[in-house]
Amino acid sequence: MEKEGASAAMPPDYAPREHERHAMDPPQRITADTDSDLHSISPEDHPPQAFEGKDEECRPSYASDTSRDAAVVVPRPNRRGLFGQFTLLAEVENPKTYSRKKKWFVTFIVAWAGATAPMGSAILFPALSQVTKELSSTTTVANLNISLYMLSMSIFPLWWSSFSEKLGRRTIYLVSFCLFVIFNVLCAISKSMAMLIVMRMLSGGASASVQAVGAGTIADLWESQERGRAMGIFYLGPLCGPLVAPIVGGALAQRWKWRSTLWFLAAYGGITVAFIFFALPETLISAKSHSPNTSNEQQEPIGRRLSRVSSRQVVGLTTRWLKVLKMALVDPLKIVLYLRYPPVLLTVYYASITFGSLYVLNVSVEHTFGSDPYNFTTILVGLLYIPNSLGYVVASTFGGRWMDNIMQREARKAQRYDENGNLIYHPEDRMRENAWLGAFLYPAALIWYGWTADRGVFWLVPMIANFFFGIGSMLIFSMATTMLTEFMPKKASSGVALNNFMRNIFSCVGSLVTAPIIDAIGNGWLFTILGIVAFLSSSVLFAMKVFGPRWRKSMDALRH
């Protein structure tokens, strides 16, 4: 955050470089008041002698900052975001200065909202047979309600993320969840399979905003050394949606048929809108820099300007509208270019393989236990999603704190300190024994589940496998998401949107092809192949350990 006195001394279009921003701040605040790059450093920031004998790739860190200003409350008329004046929790200039209670409160709201999208996909699993029968369709076509929902969850966050970096988090949350409510009402009254599939796609895209923007909110609020735990709690929402949804969906579908599940989603979305409207302030740190184009003339209504316009002004207006179209249609796709960085590409790939496995497993549970030899009822099939979700809860509760402790331990072991004695953290520090445990657990659990379900073994045995799958996969999810917010600190929500884009494509394909593959080769061979692919994909951990520091250094150089 720039100091007001400094702003006054500069021209309105002045945008200080990173090292100049640090130079304006008091030395002890180099990490607290700016959204500076976690991994970049210049000679102006720290004199060379400050790092004598230290790792040559040392970077300044947020992690050990202990000097923090009191929260500066933004006056109600100046609060940002759609209807920002109505928030009961006041917006502050630097969200990291909120008290811990307020940070956890905002984290809870974002986690609650984050449960919406996966809940929307999973709530129909137990009721797909009812959908197929009532709308006179086939199982494969009915599965499009899941797979295309997931596909829209992969694409829409690219736009939500891009818009959130310009319009703020709060506006995106409110707009997207209002749309989610509308689309689910239309789903509930659908008269044909085509209408249902289209409305499901749109509702999935609307709910997916929090999948990217939510991680950005967490990065806005929490310092690096606490972010792993906060990200783990945030991910409880998206990963526990599948815990609640099949149970609720099974119970509702058995009592009031499948349409009641969609009315439930509309009601859940309405509650989420109320939470956001009254309790979620804007958290995106304001740039406080103004373009020379920002003037009274620009804010004047277009019609009034056209009445006294010159040819030069016509060109100016056209250019501005082209910029708006570029922002809406082209800019969101630019984040795909981050895949050219090996740390981002490998992290996203590994998370995508893991997430795709999750949806293959979800479809298999409904397909396998709803038919011979198990023949469970709709509500019992819903209850079978509890074990892996319990694994998510265990890993989220303890895994995030464990990951933060590992990161601090690695920084101390490497003796990485800045000139003020603060620890310097690298994203790849998070990828240690926690990652190896996850990399072993979830592929082994997939193979365990596959063969026990294939042979019709007592239902508890494959469910124990699913519990361990939940632990292993959650360790990978939270690690990958947190690392992406740190590899791309100024574009945290964009990094997570890119992750969602790739992983939901994998889950879309997985949910679409799982049932036909099970019918063709059985659960045993399907999950053996998937487990082997997952084991081989863990080579990402070796690559990040050996080449990660060099890649990160090159990534910083290219980005700057």
Query: How far is C-alpha 447 from the geometric centre of its chain's CA atoms?
Result: 28
Please return the burial class of 77, using the count of CB atoms within 10 Å of its CB with bins 0-12, 13-18 and 19+: exposed
Split at pLDDT 50, 70, 90, the class of 383 is: confident
Are the C-beta atoms of residues 401 and 228 closer than 8 Å to each other?
yes
- Tokens for 439? 């990399």
Query: How far is C-alpha 31 from the geometric centre of its chain's CA atoms?
Result: 24
pLDDT reading at 375 higher than 90:
no
Backbone angles phi, psi at 423, to 5 degrees: -65, 145
Tokens 């000139």, residue?
A: 419
pLDDT reading at 185 higher than 90:
yes
CA-wise closest residue to 507 among 111, 120, 121: 121
pLDDT reading at 444 higher than 90:
yes
Global pTM? Answer: 0.62
> Could you give the CA distance from residue 372 to residue 349 in angstroms, rounded to a whole number?
35
- Reply yes or no: is the peptide bond before residue 373 cis, omega within 30 of 0: yes
Mean pLDDT score of the chain, rounded to an integer? Answer: 75
- Tokens for 254? 């058995």
CA-wise closest residue to 478 among 391, 360, 553: 391
pLDDT reading at 53 higher than 50:
no
Of residues 499 and 52, which shows the higher confidence score? 499
> If you ran DSSP here, which 8-state letter would residue 423 be given?
B
CA-wise closest residue to 379 among 387, 364, 388, 369: 369
> Could you give the CA distance from residue 175 to residue 107 in angstroms, rounded to a whole number?
19
> Could you give the CA distance from residue 544 to residue 343 in angstroms, rounded to a whole number?
7
> Could you give the CA distance from residue 409 to residue 517 in angstroms, rounded to a whole number?
45
Residues 6+ apart with CB under 8 A from 549: 57, 426, 428
> Could you give the CA distance from residue 454 to residue 526 in angstroms, rounded to a whole number?
10
pLDDT tens string 55-78: 434 443 344 443 456 778 888 888
**Average pLDDT for 197-209:** 90
Please state whether 91 falls in left (phi above 0), alpha (psi between -120 and 50) or beta. beta
- For the chain, the 3-state helix, strand and coil shares in percent, each to the nearest 5, are 75, 0, 25
| Greatest mean pLDDT among 58-62, 385-389, 542-546 | 385-389
Are the C-beta atoms of residues 484 and 348 closer than 8 Å to each other?
yes
* SS3 call for 430: helix
Are the C-beta atoms of residues 358 and 235 closer than 8 Å to each other?
no
Residues 6+ apart with CB under 8 A from 105: 89, 279
Tokens 């800019």, residue?
A: 331
Of residues 5 and 458, which shows the higher confidence score? 458
pLDDT reading at 212 higher than 50:
yes
Dihedral sign (CA 378, 382, 383, 384) = positive
CA dihedral (233, 332, 32, 341) in degrees, to 10, reads 90
> Could you give the CA distance from residue 230 to residue 215 in angstroms, rounded to a whole number?
10
pLDDT reading at 48 higher than 90:
no
> If you ran DSSP here, which 8-state letter would residue 25 be given?
S
Q: What is the pLDDT of residue 316?
A: 55
- Tokens for 311? 């040819």
pLDDT reading at 45 higher than 50:
no
Q: What is the pLDDT of residue 319?
A: 58
pLDDT tens string 416-442: 777 777 777 777 777 777 788 888 998
Q: List domains and CATH numbers for the chain.
A: 84-285+341-559 (1.20.1250.20)
